[in-house]
Amino acid sequence: MKRKFFCVILMLVMMFSLAACASSNQNVKEKTNEENQTAEEQKEPGNATIYLVRHGKTILNNTDRAQGWADGPLIPEGEELIKNVGKGLAEIPFIAAYSSDSGRAIQTANLILAENKTDAKSIELVQKQGIREGYFGTYEGEKNEVMWGDAAKHLGFDNQEELLASGGNIIEKIMNAVAEIDSSEEAESYEELKERSFSEFESIANEAYENGGGDVLVVSHGITMGTILAQIDTSIVPAEGFANGSVTKLEFDGKVWKVIEVNELKYAEEGKSR
């Protein structure tokens, strides 16, 4: 009887041991699978290509008024232009899309993504306050000729034409002059705009680079775009400013910026012919 009892106990011990081994092997297998999956998800850094787009024409653009943090919706002509830009960029497989948090930039980015023929059509649009337009204080909504004229006189020029012809970093001159004469004392200086906009832009590019690279859509504003580009190469900032719906294309390798196109309207033209 004792012998039979010990045999039963021995068999039970062996069964528990086998079950424990099987469970251990399963845990190791599951852990290995998780590690492999994590390794697959971790991508090597890669070059990021940024398509920096100025928003479409708005009601405030149409009446030639200062539009910084003030905001106006796109006019029908502006919507049509941006739809054509979207068609011109329709084959670009954007991995991410950003806009400033101003309505005109959000509207522009959504119109572009709606025309996309790749999986980018369904990606989430991320809004970034850092790439919104410069703030003009009490000049918000004022006629541009008034703001520019006052800035020109403050800087010792007879009119805005003389200011524009003076060379150098015109955006820096304008932003600093407006900040100095703004009665609310709230208008942004060039340094303030530069700090928030370029740091945000670099952050967007770095994130894309660290995640394996690819094409990124960024919708912003004329003064802000000029400020961003000036940190890369002052000589490439167009003296006439950025056209509504223009595309400026840059490549970032984690350290160095390469400018490919500036203030390009060919995407709208190509889209219009499709």
pLDDT tens, position by position, 137-169 = 999 999 999 999 999 999 999 999 999 899 899
Instruction: Record the pTM.
Output: 0.85
Percentage of residues of the chain with pLDDT beyond 70:
85
Write a three-state SS string for the chain: CHHHHHHHHHHHHHHHHHHHHHHHHHHHHHHHHHHHHHHHHCCCCCCEEEEEEECCCEHHHHCCECCCCCCCCECHHHHHHHHHHHHHCCCCCCCEEEEECCHHHHHHHHHHHHCCCCHHHHCCEEEEHHHCCCCCHHHCCCEHHHHHHHHHHHCCCCCHHHHHCCCCCHHHHHHHHHHHHCCCCCCCCHHHHHHHHHHHHHHHHHHHHHCCCEEEEEEECHHHHHHHHHCCCHHHCCCCCCCCCCEEEEEECCCCEEEEEEEECHHHHHHHCC
Average pLDDT over residues 206-230: 98
Looking at every residue in the chain, the average pLDDT score rounds to 90
Q: What is the pLDDT of residues 66-78, one digit of tens each?
A: 999 999 999 999 9
Residue with the bigger pLDDT between 91 and 37: it is 91
Could you read off the pLDDT of 220-270 as tens digits, one per residue? 999 999 999 999 999 999 988 999 999 999 999 999 999 999 999 999 999
**Quick one: pLDDT at residue 43?**
78
Q: How does residue 213 score in pLDDT terms, banded at 50, 70 and 90? A: very high
Indicate whether 49 pLDDT > 60.
yes
Residue 37 pLDDT class (50, 70, 90 cuts): low
Task: State residue 170's pLDDT score.
Answer: 94
Query: 13 pLDDT band (50/70/90 cuts)?
Result: very low
